[in-house]
């Protein structure tokens, strides 16, 4: 597809009870007290002091990650930063955003947040409890994001009204599903987000977790769209009511571009800003240049918090 075709993809319509499903889940999740615990990790990352972080999520899951704070101690905005489906073994390089507390959670089953009987392998993780809409693993990861915001506000109550979320790939898809329902988040950045337009995604071969989902459907009678229609990042973005900066790729062997563009296309026009990458999950000649351009735009975007 060329760019014009990708920008013409129509996002899927929501099931009748889509909003009710997520609003109820959000309401129930926020009854969990995250009880965040931080400990100085003893090292710095680009003018930020690094702290080991743990907090409680739903189903008794303990989430691990990191908190980065400016070395001068001045904190006036907060950003929760998601990760790709490979998990993370360390915090990412922090964005150039002044006076920001940066919370890097590992979503359940991945990185510092292992869960018994949940595989950290993306091809298996993405299938965990897929036949149960209420218990599907992606819903638990959304809970983890919401409670990351709760943990950040427990640590820094003054950040109320000044919190953003940034996520790429897996973290982009989880963010797209989570953020529309959480009024505590004021700005959203997604990069090559997955889980967009699930019905279309099932028709698109790839080398990412989507291929595992496609194979599952081919070998089981259960119609997984009974679950996935509720875990569609493009559908969720129809409900977004805050500014969003979305970077999508014209070529991507892991997350097929039609799904990424469906996520962008679903956002109300007055709220969305587009950044087009030549490729995602793939090395390409202009990668360094485009990454630097995107990071500059991202820094300006979050400075508005």
pLDDT tens by residue, 183-239:
999 999 999 999 999 999 999 999 999 999 999 999 999 999 999 999 999 999 999
Closest to 195 (Cα-Cα) out of 146, 151, 232, 238: 232
Q: State how far Cα 97 lies from the chain centre.
A: 19
| Mean pLDDT for the stretch of residues 231-250 | 98
Q: Are 48 and 68 in contact (CB under 8 A)?
A: yes
Q: Return the percentage of the chain with pLDDT > 90, whole number.
A: 99
Per-residue pLDDT tens over the stretch 13-47:
999 999 999 999 999 999 999 999 999 999 999 99
Interatomic CA distance for residues 28 and 10, integer angstroms = 32
Interatomic CA distance for residues 167 and 1, integer angstroms = 25
Neighbours of 118 (CB within 10 A): 18
| Mean pLDDT for the stretch of residues 269-285 | 97
Q: What tokens does 96 get?
A: 């150039």
Closest to 260 (Cα-Cα) out of 197, 175, 179: 197
Q: What is the pLDDT of residue 44?
A: 96
**96: helix, strand or coil:** coil
CA atoms lying within 13 Å on the CB side of residue 135: 6
Q: Are 280 and 29 in contact (CB under 8 A)?
A: no
Pairing of the two strands 62-70 and 77-81? unpaired
Residue 76: is it exposed, middle or buried by C-beta count within 10 angstroms (0-12/13-18/19+)?
middle
Give DSSP secondary structure letters for 155-202.
H-GGGTT-EEEEEETHHHHHHHHHGGG-TT--EEEEES--S-SHHHHT
Mean pLDDT for the chain overall? 97
Pairing of the two strands 48-56 and 62-70? antiparallel
Residue with tokens 């026009």: 269
CATH 3.40.50.1820 fits 3-303, yes or no: yes
Neighbours of 238 (CB within 10 A): 18
How many residues does the structure list for the chain? 305
Q: What tokens does 129 get?
A: 């409890």
Q: Where are the alpha helices (DSSP H) in the chain?
A: 3-6, 18-29, 122-125, 137-155, 170-178, 198-201, 209-219, 225-228, 233-237, 257-266, 287-303
Q: What is the pLDDT of residue 89?
A: 95
Q: What is the pLDDT of residue 183?
A: 98
| Mean pLDDT for the stretch of residues 140-161 | 98
Q: Let me know the angle formed at the C-alpha of 304 by 302 and 305, rounded to the nearest 5 degrees.
A: 75
| Mean pLDDT for the stretch of residues 91-98 | 93
CA separation, residue 219 to residues 20, 77, 113, 213, 250 (Å): 31, 47, 30, 10, 30
Q: Are 103 and 152 in contact (CB under 8 A)?
A: yes
Q: What tokens does 139 get?
A: 């819903």
Give the pLDDT band of residue 154 (cuts 50, 70, 90). Answer: very high
How would you label 31-49 residue by residue, b for 16+ Cβ within 10 Å and e otherwise? ebebebebeebeeebeebb
Residue 11: is it exposed, middle or buried by C-beta count within 10 angstroms (0-12/13-18/19+)?
buried
């Amino acid at each position: 597809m060329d760019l014009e075709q990708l920008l013409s993809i129509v996002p899927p319509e929501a099931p009748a009870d889509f909003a009710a499903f997520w609003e109820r889940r959000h309401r129930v999740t926020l009854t969990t007290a995250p009880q965040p615990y931080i400990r100085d990790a003893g090292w710095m990352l680009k003018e930020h002091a690094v702290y080991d972080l743990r907090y409680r999520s739903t189903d008794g899951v303990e989430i691990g990650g990191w908190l980065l704070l400016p070395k001068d101690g001045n904190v006036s905005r907060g950003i929760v930063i998601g990760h790709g489906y490979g998990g993370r073994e360390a915090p990412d390089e922090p964005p150039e955003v002044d006076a920001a507390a940066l919370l890097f959670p590992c979503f359940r089953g991945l990185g510092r947040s292992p869960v018994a009987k949940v595989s950290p392998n993306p091809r298996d993780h993405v299938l965990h409890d897929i036949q149960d809409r209420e218990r599907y693993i992606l819903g638990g990861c959304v809970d983890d994001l919401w409670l990351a915001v709760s943990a950040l506000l427990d640590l820094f109550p003054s950040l109320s009204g000044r919190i953003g979320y940034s996520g790429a790939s897996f973290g982009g898809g989880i963010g797209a599903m989570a953020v529309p329902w959480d009024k505590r988040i004021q700005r959203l950045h997604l990069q090559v987000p997955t889980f967009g337009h699930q019905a279309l995604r099932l028709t698109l071969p790839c080398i990412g977790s989507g291929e595992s989902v496609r194979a599952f459907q081919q070998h089981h009678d259960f119609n997984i769209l009974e679950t996935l229609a509720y875990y569609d990042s493009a559908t969720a973005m129809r409900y977004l009511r805050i500014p969003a900066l979305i970077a999508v790729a014209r070529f991507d062997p892991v997350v097929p571009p039609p799904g990424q563009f469906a996520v962008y296309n679903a956002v109300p026009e007055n709220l969305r800003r587009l950044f087009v990458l030549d490729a995602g999950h793939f090395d390409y000649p202009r990668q360094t240049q485009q990454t630097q351009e995107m990071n500059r735009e991202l820094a300006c975007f979050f400075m508005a918090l």
